[in-house]
Amino acid sequence: MECKTTGLLTLSPIQPTWWQQGVIYQIYLRSFQDSNGDGIGDLAGVIERLDYLSHVLGINALWLTPFYPSPMADGGYDVADYLDVDPRFGDLATFDRLISEAHARDLHVIIDYVPNHTSDQHPWFVQSRSSHDNIRHDWYIWADPRPDGSPPNNWLSVFGGSAWSWDTTRQQYYLHSFLPQQPDLNWRHPAVKAAMFEVLRFWLERGVDGFRIDVAHFLMKDPSLRDNPPNPSMSPTFWRSFGAYDSQLHLYDHAHPDVHHIYRELRQLLESYSQQQPRVSIGELYRPDMGAWATFYGRDLDELHLPFNFRLLATPWNALAIRQSVDELEAVVPTGAWPNYVLGNHDEPRVASRLGHAQARVAMLLLLTLRGTPTLYYGDEIGMQNVSIPPEHLDDLWERNLPGLNLGRDQERTPMQWDNSTHAGFCPPEVNPWLPIIQIDTQHNVVAQLTNPSSMLSLTRRLLQLRRTYPALSIGNYRAINTNMEDCFVYMRQNGPQRLLIALNFAQVEQELHLIEWDTGRILLSTHLDREGQVDLAHLTLRGDEGCIIGI
Ligand code: GLC
């Protein structure tokens, strides 16, 4: 069968900025590098590893998960003070040093901003719950019980149970979309918005390059607190089953259209700081309807720079489905807006465990060659796998609240495997890391893989190097290519005269592609890292689990 090109051709930005050209590396701070021997990763540990990120790996932006003072009910996504650093992770002076050391290496720093909820230990909530007369009494979402004493409506917490908890002092319920220890802020109150925008200014003044906005769509709810309708089919609200949470259609408890006003204002704030140093906003958004997802760019591209795109996590791993997913995304991203792709994060099972090591290499090639900013989860560059955590070490309350549903996230949050020593070089041998490193073997660590020319790390480094060498890979246009093999996904990236074909085999067996639109090409990289040079594109053989980048 002949190969044809689709009509879909997407265009490069005219003046790409750092967050369009570069690659974001997510650091799950608790697990990256412990510098002070307490078994918990910290900011000084990240500073120690900056050379790895910039010189060895070659990424240009890092995203730090929360480092704020926190009781750690939800791994730091329960913030007790937005304007400081938890002593576990360091202090403000260390944070400032991290920014300047990162910037000195051309690394941009994105921090987590957690606007939907605070910790129940945050002084704002302590005041709010203290009395109806307190100055902050309406900074959170309080409501009276129904006549029978039950919660004000049927909304559910993502982490299990009702989204409402009773407060004995106020004799009212407060809303928590996640844990009871994470009360939702009332963003309809102008003083709340002002205070939370001050938080952004505080960190912008300290030099951060952008924010990853936690559950960005949750900020606005139905003001009249209507009940959610039932979802009799129990179809997943997002892309995998969340248990009883999926028994409702979540029409009213998040993503009220008013949320867009917030992001328009937030964007203006970022723009006012972007003259010298362009800053970026990245929203964590779970909107399975791609049209609804795309609205977060803003009607005039005046909201979020990048609404996180989790489709690679949600799509079945086969060539057809992945191509459809990419094409749908390309079709829905507004003209002038910029796509992005995520392959793993601290809320999702490890990609190497989900797909197996061989396909994880194909997945890495895909992530780093699609049009859009890739986000790479720490450890995926060495093929880290889920670690099974014994019950006595479980940290994630989601797992403890809803055991047996496979919702726990500790498995993908274990310490980075730097070397082959006890605790993998994450913390001193005599200290217990906060989560155990159990499945350590001799291969899945940075030191071993650096000297192995065919390792996952060697592949990732080579891919990142090619992205820097060939602008077609970072900012080029994207065009899907129809092929004769249904297990293969082929696309072209083009920037001016520079054209690269990406050919991915999702099957374990060999495939012969007939790409007769071109005669010969030059293999620049195979995921097997064992071949380069001239190939006949009319008879291009891809081995099982092989992906190639081919210059044409
Ligand atoms: C986001 C975070 C997740 C956290 C939740 C509640 O989804 O990524 O880790 O538990 O928000 O803050």
Over 60: is that where the pLDDT of 4 sits? Answer: no
Over 90: is that where the pLDDT of 13 sits? Answer: no
CA–CA distance, 369 with 363 (Å, rounded to integer): 10
How far, in Å, is the centroid of ligand 1 from the Cα of 77? 6
In this prediction, residues 260-283 reach a mean pLDDT of: 97
Give me the chain's average pLDDT, please.
Answer: 95
Cβ contact 211:112 at 8 Å: yes
Q: Which pLDDT value is given to residue 438?
A: 75
Helix (H) or strand (E) holding 326: helix 319-332
**pLDDT more than 70, % of the chain:** 97
- pLDDT-based confidence at 507, cuts 50/70/90? very high
Amino acid making up residue 303: E
Residue with tokens 């792709």: 341
The b-or-e profile of 476-503 (16+ CB within 10 A means b, else e) is bbbbbbebebebbbbbbbbbeeebbbbb
Helix, strand and coil percent figures for the chain, each rounded to 5: 30, 15, 55
How far, in Å, is the centroid of ligand 1 from the Cα of 224? 25
Tell me if residue 323 falls in helix, strand or coil.
helix
| C-beta atoms surrounding 144 within 10 Å | 10
Q: Which pLDDT value is given to residue 404?
A: 87
Over 90: is that where the pLDDT of 156 sits? Answer: yes
Over 50: is that where the pLDDT of 417 sits? Answer: yes
Q: Which pLDDT value is given to residue 2?
A: 32
Q: Which pLDDT value is given to residue 551?
A: 98
In this prediction, residues 384-393 reach a mean pLDDT of: 93
- pLDDT-based confidence at 1, cuts 50/70/90? very low
Residue-wise pLDDT tens digits, 486-505? 999 999 999 999 999 999 99
Over 90: is that where the pLDDT of 383 sits? Answer: yes
- Tell me which residues have their CB closer than 6 angstroms to ligand 1: 74, 77, 178, 214-215, 284, 346-347
Atom 4 of ligand 1: nearest residue by CA position: 77
CA–CA distance, 76 with 263 (Å, rounded to integer): 23
In this prediction, residues 19-32 reach a mean pLDDT of: 97
In this prediction, residues 292-315 reach a mean pLDDT of: 97
Over 50: is that where the pLDDT of 5 sits? Answer: no
In this prediction, residues 524-540 reach a mean pLDDT of: 97
How far, in Å, is the centroid of ligand 1 from the Cα of 215? 7
Atom 2 of ligand 1: nearest residue by CA position: 214
Least confident of 122-131, 335-344, 393-402, 508-517: 393-402
Atom 7 of ligand 1: nearest residue by CA position: 215
How far, in Å, is the centroid of ligand 1 from the Cα of 239? 16
Would you say the pTM of this structure is higher than 0.85? yes
Q: Which ligand 1 atom is at minimum distance from the Cα of 78?
A: 12
Residues with a known catalytic role: 214, 284
Mutate which of 29, 74, 237 for ligand 1 pocket (most atoms within 8 A of beta carbon): 74
Atom 3 of ligand 1: nearest residue by CA position: 347
How far, in Å, is the centroid of ligand 1 from the Cα of 78? 9
Instruction: Check residue 248 and report its DSSP letter.
Output: B
In this prediction, residues 8-36 reach a mean pLDDT of: 87
Residue-wise pLDDT tens digits, 43-79? 999 999 999 999 999 999 999 999 999 999 999 999 9
CA–CA distance, 147 with 165 (Å, rounded to integer): 16
Nearest one of 91, 116, 92, 88 to 30, comparing CA atoms = 88
Cβ contact 247:231 at 8 Å: yes
Over 80: is that where the pLDDT of 477 sits? Answer: yes
- DSSP for 419-445, written as a single string: SSSGGGGTS-TTS--SS---S--SSSS
Residue-wise pLDDT tens digits, 451-467? 999 999 999 999 999 99
